Amino acid sequence: MKTIERIGLAALHRMDPELAHGLSLKALQMGLVPLPGPIGCARLECEVAGLKLQNPLGLAAGYDKNAVALGALMRAGFGFLEVGAATPRPQPGNPKPRLWRLTEDRAVINRFGFNNEGVEAIARRLAARPAGVPVGLNLGANKDSADRAADFATVLRIAGPHVDFATVNVSSPNTEKLRDLQGKEALSALLAGVIAVRDGLERRVPVFLKIAPDLGPAELEQIAEVALNSGIDAIVATNTTLSREGLSSPLRNQPGGLSGAPLFVHSTRVLARLSQLTAGRLPLIGVGGVATADQAYEKIRAGASAVQLYSSMVYGGLSIVPEILRGLDALMTRDGFTSVAEAVGTGRERWLKG
């Protein structure tokens, strides 16, 4: 980490977390953050659901909710970006405070509740973005919607022409009863509506499904069955958790979804189980607690074709992106892999035994 980034992070950590989040985006927009530019090599190049990536490390949804800093984030070294979540209409989200740093646990709790400027504003920015790494949009539903399932299709209809992929987010714990849409019948109907919209677009957009880490074995089996039969292109595993097991921070009982280091083991086990259930028929994207090259590599070896991070930047800054990618390249070289695809799933059995 460079000195300027260390000083910046220290300053941000003295502020309210949500204010710091907003200021970090402003700093990116103003060109105040040192960025490495594109990072890739033949070993790190990969393909996920038809998307050709320079490297397998992506930015998870939630950081740039309104797609305001895409130009800078494209120069941060990520292989792909995901913005949002976007809802059909703008909404303020849940009351503040709604973001907490659990420094002792290297974790974050948020209960934002899909706060965003609405899909129309976000789609305009996506349409005007510079060329670069693939950019996807996380699809959400308005809290007061009479038909939340239809909201996902609406967002895709409006923004679909301007994105490289779209992620159906039925796994946020911060919109009441949203996770109920992960049930077999509800999810099948919701995805059918989204796929119908996707099939009506002039250009085919891969559709991903983001799931919660708090699903039981039977629920995971149902998710896998629905996903394989629905026509979606990948599963993102996982979103934040409601669990507070093993935390030491005095803020551990704040309401919302927990992300960061404590999620790594559980989310990776869910990922490995999904890899087993889908048997290579759907690519998986591993999310949850990734802060090091070893952890990114473990996600890949557990079954992920690509990985995403977000919360680890709160503690490590954007410099962790090139650090992870350099380390991942070294780990793959050590183990004799010439591509990411060769490494996918090679360590799955260890996680299934956990």
pLDDT at position 5? 87
Closest CA to 262 of 62, 61, 106, 60: 106
Q: What local confidence, expressed as pLDDT, does residue 110 receive?
A: 97
CA distance 263 to 258: 8
pLDDT of residue 266: 96
What phi and psi, each to the nearest 5 degrees, are found at residue 14?
A: -90, -5
- Is the CB of residue 14 less than 8 Å from the CB of residue 55? no
Query: What number is the average pLDDT over the span 89-100?
Result: 97
Look-up of token digits 């934002």: 112
C-alpha angle 136-80-346 in degrees, rounded to nearest 5? 115
**Residue range 146-168: mean pLDDT, rounded:** 97
- How would residue 353 be classed by pLDDT, with cut points 50, 70 and 90? confident
The per-residue pLDDT for range 307-349, each reduced to its tens digit, is 999 999 999 999 999 999 999 999 999 999 999 999 999 999 9
Q: What is the identity of the amino acid at 182?
A: Q
Catalytic: which of 24, 171, 172, 305? 172
Average confidence (pLDDT) over 85-108: 98
Average pLDDT over residues 202-206: 97
Active site residue 172: yes
- Identify the CA nearest to 166 among candidates 70, 67, 232: 232
pLDDT at 354: 66
CATH code that applies to domain 3-352: 3.20.20.70
CA dist., res. 303 & res. 301, Å (int): 5
What integer pLDDT is reported at residue 137 of this predicted model?
A: 98
C-alpha closest to that of 136 among 207, 228, 238: 207
**Residues 25-65: tens digit of each pLDDT:** 999 999 999 899 999 999 999 999 999 999 999 999 999 99
- The string of pLDDT tens digits covering residues 98-153 is 999 999 999 999 999 999 999 999 999 999 999 989 999 999 999 999 999 999 99
